[in-house]
Amino acid sequence: MKKLVIFIFLFFNHSLFSQGIEGPMEASPENKPLIIELMVESKFEAYFTDYCSKRMDFLGKEKGLTKEKIAEYKKKVSFAEFLDYTVFNQFAEYSSEELKQMITLCKTLNKGKKFNWVFISTPIIESNLELFIRQYMKD
């Protein structure tokens, strides 16, 4: 009897707590091209690639890895994978109009700039960037 009471208690607690939890949002098919345009206008892919490269150099030296091993890890870097896994989800909650405003802002602020681009990011994007780097550096 005791086991039955515990099972029922756990079942109802699990049901109550799991009802409010949602998985990551997914960008609508209409907004994906806008998110890609935002990444292009903000030059986020260049930032992503440069950041991964410099961070891998740092972590590789810290671990005493050879330049060849670090170069091997760098070949794994994939912005397309990061875009699918992280970026689309992070901008999924924005409307088409909001995304267009972000694109316009980036175009205006980055016009004529060769370096120091302005891009829009979130703590989860930055956290996942570190996660991806660590994944790329695994054998």
* Domain spans of the chain, in order of start: 27-136
Inter-residue contact 137 to 69 (CB < 8 Å): no
**pLDDT per residue as tens digits for the range 36-47:** 999 999 989 999
Q: Which residues contact 132 (CB under 8 A, 6 or more apart)?
A: 52, 77, 81, 82, 85, 86
**pLDDT per residue as tens digits for the range 67-119:** 999 999 999 999 999 999 899 999 999 999 999 999 999 999 888 877 777 88
Claim: this prediction has a pTM higher than 0.75: yes
Statement: residue 24 has pLDDT above 80? no
